[in-house]
Amino acid sequence: MDSNYKKKIVQSVPQTGFFGHPKGLFTLFFTEFWERFSYYGMRAILLFYMYYEVSKGGLGLDQGTAASIMAIYGSLVYMSGIIGGWLADRLLGTSRTVFYGGVLIMLGHIILALPAGVTALFVSMGFIVIGTGLLKPNVSSVVGDMYSDEDPRRDSGFSIFYMGINAGGLLAPLIIGTIGQQYNFHLGFSLAAIGMFLGLVVFVVTKKKNLGLAGTYVPNPLTGEEKKKVFSRLGIGAVVIVILGAVGITTGLLTIERFIFMVSIFGIIIPAVYFFVMYRSPKTSEVEQSRLLAYIPLFIAAMMFWAIQEQGSIILARYADERTQLSFAGIELQSSWFQSLNPLFIVMLAPVFAWLWVKLGNRQPSTPKKFSLGLLFAGLSFIVMIVPAYVNGTESLVNPMWLVLSFFLVVLGELCLSPVGLSATTKLAPSAFSAQTMSLWFLSNASAQAINAQIVRFYKPETEIIYFGVIGGISIILGLILYLVSTRIHGMMKGVN
């Protein structure tokens, strides 16, 4: 985008009106608040819906399979961001892509709200996976569009936006979780649909006045000839996938287990291909090649971190449901409420970490060292879960404060690794692949959950000590190795801190 057009976009947005920020931040804050409310609300009860018996309103699936489906779901959501980025860059612009994404998400939740069994579950997953892939990466880039590159409010604008994400994630399990678990799962899912509908209403009603030209620009539009090619290929691809899927399901060749295994393989292959193509490209300079090599250990560390963090909504959700005392200090708890702990701690601690890094200035740890701290805290969040099983066995119910401690530790790790990872990705990306490297960062989460899909089925109360001990131990060992080689990695980053 040339600088004159960028100026034109910024000038088209009313520059004050939301806590001293551009008015459009109101639109995007509440669009993303409601999108996250719907997504995390649905996720808070989805695992229970899958494995609760039919008599309790669930689908009665095997617990291991339900856990694997949750992981694959998460993996596909992050993979589909590649589609969203491409559509916005080449065809629709970010604003329209966000709108279509929201519509698909809402349809997905409406389908889940219908009592139509396993079929509805998988159809809704398809809608929500693609819808989230369209909406999530593009909402963030519309936020960036509203500020000039020199605008000192830019970072704090993103911080306010980040609070919107976490506020939605914090309230959803408390509201949708309670309704879903106490009354009816389908009622919970319909609340998620209403949440996304409200987000779309905010977006459509306030977009014209608040966002101006932000998000309307298509950076690298397809020519008429390219459009024909792309649409014919997409059409043929979709037909082939539908036919193969239909044949696979009717002949029994495509089982849930095989599909999960296939996605797990893709989760490893796609990032590997990305790295290879970028490294070998003639557009990547020698310095950029060195930075890419430095990024690989950070990517692997991020995968290990997300593999533990994302089990909060799978293994720790099941632990909350089956192994935890759900009455505490005279309050009857719902197992879904524990899903609010992660966003709660992020909202509380993010400003503390932001202040800490500013306070330390040049004395703050390097990016690889911050990543190693992230792995250390993630590992500890699993290691502490061994203690109650070791002391009291796996037959008795556990004090809920153990889960609170585990979520607290993993958030300390997340704040060392996640914002730093985003920042390092933008700095280490080869200039010819800057947008795609951002997709690569989100793929670290997709790959982690693709691997989780194979791992989570090994969790049972009787294997608990080994499960938490091995995964937590690997994370701590990787963190220590990364710490020891961090100076070498920092050298390969060629001037990027």
Burial grade of 4 (CB within 10 A; 0-12, 13-18, 19 or more)? exposed
Query: Any idea which residue has 């609760």 for tokens?
Result: 52
The continuous run of DSSP H or E covering 331 comes out as: strand 331-332
- Residue 434: pLDDT over 80: no
Q: Where is 332: in which H helix or E strand?
A: strand 331-332
Which tokens go with 400?
């809920």
Sign of CA dihedral 242, 247, 250, 255: negative
Does 270-497 match 12-221 at the fold level? yes
- Which of 136, 117, 110, 10 minimizes the C-alpha distance to 54? 117
The per-residue pLDDT for 394 is: 82
SS3 state of residue 263:
helix
Q: Is 328 helix (H, G, I), strand (E, B) or coil?
A: strand
The pLDDT tens digits for 313-328 are 999 999 999 999 998 8
Q: What is the pLDDT of residue 130?
A: 93
- Supply the pLDDT for residue 3: 66
* Residues 210 and 26 sit within 8 Å (Cβ to Cβ): yes
pLDDT (tens digit per residue) in 436-469: 777 788 899 999 999 999 999 999 888 999 999 9
Q: What does the pLDDT average to over 245-254? A: 81
More confident residue, 209 or 317: 317
Specify the pLDDT at position 212: 73
The percentage of residues in the chain with a pLDDT greater than 70, rounded to a whole number, is 97
Q: 49 pLDDT exceeds 80?
A: yes
User: Regarding the domain delimited by 270-497, which CATH topology (the fold level of the hierarchy) does it fall under?
Assistant: Growth Hormone; Chain: A; (1.20.1250)
* 414-447 exposure pattern, b = at least 16 Cβ within 10 A, e = fewer: bbbbbbbbeebbeebbbeebeebbbbbbbbbbbb
Question: What are the start-end ranges of the E strands in 248-311?
Answer: none
Rounded to the nearest angstrom, the gap between the alpha carbon of residue 176 and the centroid of all alpha carbons in its chain is 19
- In the structure encoding, which two tokens stand for residue 199, read together? 């987000």
476-491 average pLDDT score: 93
Q: What is the mean pLDDT of residues 185-191?
A: 94
Tens-place pLDDT, residues 349-368: 988 888 888 888 888 888 89
Position 82 scores a pLDDT of 83
Per CATH, the homologous superfamily of domain 12-221 is: MFS general substrate transporter like domains (1.20.1250.20)
More confident residue, 393 or 305: 305
Q: The pTM is what?
A: 0.90
Residue 335 CB burial class (10 angstroms; 0-12, 13-18, ≥19) = buried
Q: What is the pLDDT of residue 148?
A: 76
Residue 2 confidence (pLDDT) above 70: no
For residue 154, what pLDDT is reported? 73
Q: What whole-number distance in Å separates Cα of residue 110 and Cα of residue 186?
A: 9
Token pair 């989460």: residue: 445
pLDDT for 140: 79
pLDDT tens digit sequence for 266-298: 889 988 988 888 888 888 888 888 988 999 999
Residue 341, pLDDT above cutoff 80:
yes
How far is Cα 191 from Cα 249, in angstroms, rounded to an integer?
Answer: 31
Question: Between residues 223 and 155, which one has the greater pLDDT?
Answer: 223
pLDDT at 162: 81
User: Across the chain, what does the average pLDDT equal?
Assistant: 88
Give the model confidence (pLDDT) of 391-428 as tens digits. Answer: 888 888 999 999 999 999 999 999 999 878 877 877 78
* Domain ranges within the chain, ordered by starting residue: 12-221, 270-497
pLDDT-derived band at 179, boundaries 50, 70, 90: very high
Q: 73 pLDDT exceeds 90?
A: yes
CA-angle at 277, arms to 299 and 444, nearest 5°: 20
The answer to whether residue 218 scores a pLDDT higher than 70 is yes
* For residue 494, pLDDT beyond 80: no
Q: What is residue 84's predicted lDDT score, i.e. its pLDDT?
A: 85
174 pLDDT above the threshold of 90: yes
Amino acid at 378: A
| In the predicted structure, residue 497 carries a pLDDT above the cut 70 | no
Closest Cα to residue 75, out of 376, 275, 314? 314
Question: Using an 8 Å Cβ cutoff, are 265 and 335 in contact?
Answer: no
For range 156-165, the mean pLDDT: 80
Can you state the angle between helices 401-428 and 315-322, rounded to 10 degrees? 170
| pLDDT given at position 421 | 83
